[in-house]
Amino acid sequence: MTGLGQREPVPLSGERLSVPERVIRRLETRLGCEVRVLWTENRCAFLSLRPRGAHWVLRLDRSFRAAPEAVWEALGAFLATGQRRHLALPRSHFERNRRALPAGRRAIRVEPEGRVYHLGEILEEVAIRSPFPAVPPVAISWGRRVRPGRRRLLLGSYQPGERPLIRVHPLLDDPRVPRFAVGQVVHHEFAHHVLTMTGGLAEGRSHGPRFRELEALFPEHNRAAEWTELGLPGLFSRARRR
């Protein structure tokens, strides 16, 4: 079954409990494997269902977290049968409740899928390992290309606010960069997000003891730090020459 399409995955671990258990059970019975739930924020699409290794990922727009019983019943019928006639009520709910951008505010372009790595998948893995599974969602995207002549390379950044966003430097979307190195950058920025959501902006910006404790939870932290020190300079030099 292919998804209905979605643009901004913003993973949340632990949010499966926001979906009625009977909906998940019917879907798992149909698919014969585990289903994990991720919440998204989109203006056009509201649902997708895709395989990820040994499990499936159900992505739903955040507006469904407050959906009435009738909407969940229709959505559950669609997920259990695949019959699109059940989507009329969920679609109507989405049209009425999806978040609109304030007047004069430009949409943030979010592009998690790169040529080599999909940042949404990596963020999902990081969030599942997080000791704070109830933090609000955060979007993730590849950032802009490196500017010629720039001496300092910022591998990742975290933008707090109403729609928090993690950006990762596109230089890392390269087959020569190991996945664990990209994962470490995502984990680093997600730690900023966790501390911002649980302790406020000042703590979120800090690289103090609590941040270092969270950062060290990445399984391949030391290996990633070693690769960044030894492998990144050559990659950056080649990019600057190009």
Eight-state DSSP code of residue 169: -
Residue 173: pLDDT band with limits 50, 70, 90: very high
Averaged pLDDT for residues 209-230: 90
Of all helices (H) and strands (E), which one includes residue 47? strand 47-52
Nearest to 186 by CA among 106, 114, 108, 109: 114
Global pTM? Answer: 0.59
pLDDT of residue 47: 83
Residue 90: strand, helix, or coil: helix
Indicate the angle between helix axes 179-199 and 221-241, nearest 10 degrees: 110
In a 13 Å sphere around the CA of 59, the CA atoms on its Cβ side amount to 25
Domain boundary assignment for the chain:
15-97, 119-241
Q: Which residues pair with 167 in a beta bridge?
A: 141, 157
Distance CA 147, CA 57 (A): 36
Residue 170: pLDDT band with limits 50, 70, 90: very high
> Do the beta carbons of residue 99 and residue 63 sit within 8 Å?
yes
Residue 139: strand, helix, or coil: strand
Token pair, residue 160, equals 């707090």
Q: Is the pLDDT of residue 72 over 80?
A: yes
Averaged pLDDT for residues 140-152: 66
Q: Which amino acid is at 173?
A: D
- Comparing 31-35, 113-117, 129-133, the range with the smallest average pLDDT is 129-133
Sign of the alpha-carbon torsion through 60, 48, 80, 85 = positive
> Do the beta carbons of residue 114 and residue 170 sit within 8 Å?
yes
Distance CA 64, CA 46 (A): 9
pLDDT of residue 180: 94
First to last CA, the chain: 42
Q: What percent of the chain has pLDDT over 70?
A: 78
Distance CA 91, CA 129 (A): 33
CATH of segment(s) 119-241: 3.30.2010.10
Distance CA 18, CA 167 (A): 27
